[in-house]
């Protein structure tokens, strides 16, 4: 009989909540965030440990990256090869990491965002600093080892990192509902900060900043908000403003050029290309006329972006413009979040160093406990061998008289003499008094005869003295915290001497960039909108020379100033604002720009642009007319808004805006219906309403009829409409009253 199924009834929302929390914590702790102790994310830790296990040391040949990635994925990190290889690549990039942990051989990407070559082409090995500061002492039981994902291997829970990697290399990671962003710092300064904390555990943030004044980005640059750093380091959260380094160089002909030699850290990668495009845009949009040429001359030697200026250009003002309008001044968001005791925690700089120092004491305690145990074992064996040398003749007699190893060992350990042939009773009595330990007896039995040479015995005595010194030293380190602190600080000082480098990032308080923008010259222009809703701008002389072609090819022509905005109305009652400056300006035959590219108008939606596009609204009255014959007058000032899109009118169901136009004094309106009914009214009879109103009825329509056009008749104009083959002069129509039936033609 089959075993009865066990059905557990649970609320679905509870299952989802528990599952999501489990997933979120897994991502936070096991993938996205670094541990405060070693400053490494799991993928980085596993990759470094695997390279250590494979023996890919700094003094050994390079090995294929694919070998490292495959081994790491198979043993420790079953999350796909791309994430492992990306971690390996980033750990080798000196423009991303303050202290690269891996030495790459081959194409490992560039500062300009070029990706690394495929892992089958590149090779890697550990850096010397990684071997000495990150992976040393793994054989001394300094960290706990845990089973890997399938429990076939063991991996370290955390690496025994001896320097505060979380600060030195920084960290970036996006988890579920949280993210970490820690800037890199200078190796030597961080070591100084750790030593200062160990000497004074009550050190505060301000005092710590005497040793660690701020981040040190591998790309250099200038931090311009020094006064904000104290709050950032105290709370672990804030924004660092960083600028690129610009040099002004004089060239022949009295001209100058700007040379960018260092970039803000957030600019690395694709943002260098974006910066170049932003500079092009400044030229195209006439924000500056001082730039003649820009070229990216960066190479392996470093960043070099050259901007050539025209003669007489204000180089400093242009620098400020670049800081203001491009990513030459950028922001690094700081959120110093790391995993502490299995939980994510945001910390300031002092708590991070406190956790690191606590970890160093734990490592040192476990290391010297292991070393002390080994030295004590060695002492026990050495004491046994020294004692054996004194009674070597008796031991040889025991060995020659014993039948087997067990009998000889029993005599050495417990003084058992039964079955052993001795030369004399005295020897037997002496043998009965022997009392070596198991370990000593084994060492004696394994001892080679050459160890009985006088010099070898002296060497044994010297080793014993060295062992006793080590025991005394290790005991002192374990029993006295000050002794342990001295050992840790001595190691840190040695690391600083070998691996520290000069600071690259300048820290200062710099006033915000102020740009003296030259007022743009106002000129009269014509905006040409074709039947495909492409717009372009030409000056009036160009328009006059091509007037016939412009009128034939354009759906609408708007005369305005180059600094004006165009208000484009749609049949759905929306108004979209466009800056005339956003449209291409130039020759008559230049290509136009789709209006939906420079506004929020979406040509793919069921929304059509009306022919009317009005350049100046303020100080004018606008007339709105709809298919259902609803009319209203609106003050143009209501459309003087900052928003690029706004609702221009309220519409009844199934109604559409038919016409929008600027009212002129003495204008009359002619409404024309689908059934050829006409009504001419005085525009002044249309009441003024707010833009949110529906309006009033202009003409009474028969059932099923609607307006097809609204014509504006200005004094002196003669407009005709063809109906059933005959022309109707609109200015000859009788002016009637609003909200009456029209005349059928």
Catalytic positions, written as ranges = 121
* Helix/strand/coil for 423: coil
Half-sphere exposure (Cβ direction) of 166: Cα atoms closer than 13 Å: 33
pLDDT, residue 509, reads 86
Of residues 741, 739, 735, 745, the one with CA closest to residue 680: 735
Give the chain's length: 745
What secondary structure, in 3-state letters, does 223-271 show? ECEHHHHHHHHHHCEEEEEEECEEEEEECHHHCEEEEEEECCHHHCCCH
Residue 4: pLDDT over 70: no
Strands of the sheet with 657-662, listed across from one edge: 657-662, 621-626, 630-635, 696-697
Q: What tokens does 473 get?
A: 């030293």
For the chain, the C-alpha Rg in angstroms (whole number) is 42
- Domain 355-498: which topology? Topoisomerase; domain 3 (1.10.268)
Same fold, 33-161 and 245-327: no
Average pLDDT value for residue range 293-319: 88
* Helix/strand/coil for 156: strand
Q: Which residues are paired to 624 by β-bridges? A: 632, 660
Higher confidence at residue 71 or residue 599?
Answer: 71
Q: What tokens does 264 get?
A: 């803000």
Is 106 in contact with 121 (CB distance < 8 Å)? yes
DSSP labels, 559-610: EEETT-EEEEEETTSEEEEEEGGGS-BS-TTS--EEGGGSSS--TTSS--EE
In terms of average pLDDT, the best of 21-25, 62-66, 148-152, 296-300 is: 62-66
d(CA 451, CA 460): 9
How far from 176 is each of 23, 27, 28, 86, CA to CA, in Å? Answer: 9, 7, 7, 20
Of residues 67, 66, 53, the one with CA closest to residue 148: 53
d(CA 477, CA 491): 14
Confidence at 360, pLDDT banded by 50, 70, 90: very high
pLDDT, residue 39, reads 93
How far from 489 is each of 163, 168, 196, CA to CA, in Å? Answer: 11, 17, 10
Q: Which residues are paired to 577 by β-bridges? A: 567
Is 411 in contact with 420 (CB distance < 8 Å)? yes
Of residues 53, 108, 737, the one with CA closest to residue 100: 108
Neighbours of 665 (CB within 10 A): 9
Domain boundaries, the chain: 33-161, 245-327, 355-498, 524-744
Residue 159: pLDDT over 90: yes
Confidence at 614, pLDDT banded by 50, 70, 90: low
What's the pLDDT tens digit per position in 161-201? 999 999 999 999 887 778 899 999 999 999 999 999 999 99
Of residues 528, 532, 533, the one with CA closest to residue 584: 528
Average pLDDT value for residue range 118-141: 95
Q: Parallel, antiparallel, or unpaired for β 102-105 and 123-126?
A: antiparallel
Confidence at 30, pLDDT banded by 50, 70, 90: low
CATH of domain 245-327: 3.30.1360.40
Strands of the sheet with 63-64, listed across from one edge: 63-64, 123-126, 102-105
Higher confidence at residue 662 or residue 309?
Answer: 309
Domain spanning 524-744, CATH architecture: 6 Propeller (2.120)
Residue 517: pLDDT over 80: no
Q: What tokens does 562 get?
A: 């180059």
Confidence at 146, pLDDT banded by 50, 70, 90: very high
d(CA 496, CA 188): 5
Half-sphere exposure (Cβ direction) of 338: Cα atoms closer than 13 Å: 29
Longest dimension (CA), the chain: 155
> Which secondary structure element, helix H or strand E, spans residue 83, and what is its range?
helix 81-90
Confidence at 66, pLDDT banded by 50, 70, 90: very high
> Which secondary structure element, helix H or strand E, spans residue 540, and what is its range?
helix 540-545
In terms of average pLDDT, the best of 3-7, 279-283, 602-606 is: 279-283
DSSP structure class, residue 659: E
Q: What tokens does 78 get?
A: 């079953």
Average pLDDT value for residue range 323-350: 92
Confidence at 605, pLDDT banded by 50, 70, 90: low
pLDDT, residue 387, reads 87
Query: Scanning the structure block, which residue is given the tokens 């328009």?
Result: 543
pLDDT, residue 372, reads 95
Domain spanning 33-161, CATH architecture: Alpha-Beta Complex (3.90)
Residue 3: pLDDT over 70: no
pLDDT, residue 1, reads 42
The angle that helices 405-414 and 438-446 make with each other, rounded to 10 degrees, is: 130
pLDDT, residue 585, reads 82
**What are the backbone angles phi and psi of residue 406, rounded to the nearest 5°?**
-65, -40
d(CA 368, CA 487): 11
Q: Which residues are paired to 237 by β-bridges? A: 335
* Helix/strand/coil for 737: coil
The answer for residues whose C-beta is within 8 angstroms of residue 65's C-beta and 6 or more apart is 85, 88, 106, 119, 120, 122, 123, 124
Residue 58: pLDDT over 80: yes
Is 316 in contact with 309 (CB distance < 8 Å)? no
Is 58 in contact with 126 (CB distance < 8 Å)? yes
**What are the backbone angles phi and psi of residue 421, rounded to the nearest 5°?**
-85, 120
Strands of the sheet with 565-570, listed across from one edge: 609-614, 565-570, 574-579, 645-647
**What are the backbone angles phi and psi of residue 487, rounded to the nearest 5°?**
-65, -45
Residue 209: pLDDT over 90: yes
Least confident piece of the model among 51-55, 129-133, 402-406, 625-629: 402-406
Burial of 607 (0-12, 13-18, 19+ CB in 10 A): middle
Is 338 in contact with 41 (CB distance < 8 Å)? no
The answer for residues whose C-beta is within 8 angstroms of residue 496's C-beta and 6 or more apart is 187, 188, 191, 192
DSSP structure class, residue 302: B
Please state, rounded to an integer, the average pLDDT across all residues of the chain. 88
Work out the percent of the chain whose per-residue pLDDT is above 70.
94
* Helix/strand/coil for 113: coil
């Amino acid at each position: 009989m089959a075993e009865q199924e066990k059905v557990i009834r649970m609320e679905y929302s509870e299952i989802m909540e528990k599952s999501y929390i489990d997933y979120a914590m897994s991502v936070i702790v096991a993938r996205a965030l670094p541990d405060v102790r070693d400053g490494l994310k799991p993928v980085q830790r596993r990759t470094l440990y695997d390279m250590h296990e494979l023996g890919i040391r700094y003094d050994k040949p390079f090995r294929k990256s694919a070998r490292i990635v495959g081994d790491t994925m198979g043993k420790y990190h079953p999350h796909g090869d791309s994430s492992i290889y990306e971690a390996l690549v980033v750990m080798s990039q000196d423009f991303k990491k303050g202290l690269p942990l891996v030495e790459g051989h081959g194409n490992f990407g560039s500062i300009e965002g070029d990706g690394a070559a495929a892992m089958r082409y590149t090779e890697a090995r550990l850096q010397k600093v990684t071997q000495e500061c990150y992976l040393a002492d793994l054989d001394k039981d300094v960290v706990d080892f845990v089973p890997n994902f399938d429990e076939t291997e063991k991996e370290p829970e955390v690496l025994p990192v001896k320097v505060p990697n979380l600060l030195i290399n920084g960290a970036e990671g996006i988890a579920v509902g949280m993210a970490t962003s820690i800037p890199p710092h200078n190796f030597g300064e961080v070591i100084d900060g750790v030593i200062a904390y160990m000497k004074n555990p009550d050190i505060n943030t301000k005092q710590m900043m005497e040793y660690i004044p701020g981040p040190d980005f591998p790309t250099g640059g200038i931090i311009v908000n020094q006064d904000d750093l104290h709050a950032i380091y105290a709370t672990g959260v804030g924004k660092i403003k960083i600028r690129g380094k610009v040099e002004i160089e004089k060239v022949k002909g009295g001209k100058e050029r700007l040379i960018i030699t260092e970039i803000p850290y957030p600019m690395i990668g694709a943002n260098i290309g974006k910066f170049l495009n932003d500079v092009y845009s400044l030229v195209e949009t006439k924000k500056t006329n001082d730039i003649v040429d820009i070229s990216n001359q960066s190479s392996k030697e470093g960043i070099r972006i050259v901007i050539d200026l025209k003669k007489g250009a204000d180089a400093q003002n242009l620098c400020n413009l670049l800081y203001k309008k491009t990513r030459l001044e950028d922001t690094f968001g700081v959120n110093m979040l790391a995993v502490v005791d299995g939980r994510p925690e945001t910390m300031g700089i002092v708590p991070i160093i406190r956790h690191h120092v606590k970890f160093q004491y734990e490592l040192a305690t476990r290391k010297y406990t292991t070393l002390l145990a080994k030295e004590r074992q060695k002492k026990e064996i050495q004491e046994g061998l020294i004692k054996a040398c004194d009674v070597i003749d008796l031991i040889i007699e025991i060995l020659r008289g014993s039948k087997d190893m067990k009998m000889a060992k029993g005599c050495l350990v417990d003084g058992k003499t039964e079955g052993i042939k001795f030369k004399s009773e005295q020897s037997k009595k002496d043998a009965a008094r022997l009392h070596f330990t198991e370990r000593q007896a084994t060492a004696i039995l394994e001892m080679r005869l050459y160890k009985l040479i006088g010099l070898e015995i002296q060497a044994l005595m010297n080793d014993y003295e060295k062992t006793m010194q080590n025991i005394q030293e290790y005991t002192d380190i374990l029993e006295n915290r000050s002794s342990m602190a001295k050992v840790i600080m001595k190691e840190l000082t040695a690391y600083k001497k070998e691996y520290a480098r000069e600071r690259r990032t300048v820290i200062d308080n710099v006033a915000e960039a102020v740009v003296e923008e030259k007022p743009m010259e106002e000129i009269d222009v014509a905006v040409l909108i074709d039947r495909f809703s492409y717009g372009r701008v030409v000056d009036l002389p160009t328009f006059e020379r091509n007037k016939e072609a412009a009128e034939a090819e354009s759906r609408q022509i708007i005369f305005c100033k180059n600094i004006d905005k165009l208000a484009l109305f749609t049949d759905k009652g929306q108004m979209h604002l466009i800056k005339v400056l956003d449209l291409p300006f130039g020759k008559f035959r230049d290509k136009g720009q789709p209006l939906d590219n420079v506004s929020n108008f979406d040509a793919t939606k069921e929304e059509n642009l009306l022919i009317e596009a009005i350049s100046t609204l303020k100080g004018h009255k606008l007339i709105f007319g709809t298919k259902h014959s609803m009319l209203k007058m609106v003050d143009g000032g209501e459309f003087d808004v900052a928003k690029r899109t706004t609702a221009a009118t309220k519409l009844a169901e199934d109604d559409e805006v038919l016409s929008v136009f600027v009212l002129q004094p003495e204008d009359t309106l002619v409404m024309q219906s689908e059934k050829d009914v006409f009504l001419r009214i005085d525009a002044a009879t249309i009441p003024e309403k707010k833009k949110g109103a529906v309006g009033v009825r202009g003409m009474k329509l028969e059932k099923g009829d609607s307006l097809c056009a609204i014509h504006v008749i200005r004094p002196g104009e003669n407009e005709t409409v063809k109906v059933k083959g005959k022309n109707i002069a609109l200015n000859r129509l009788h002016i009637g009253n609003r909200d009456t039936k029209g005349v059928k033609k």
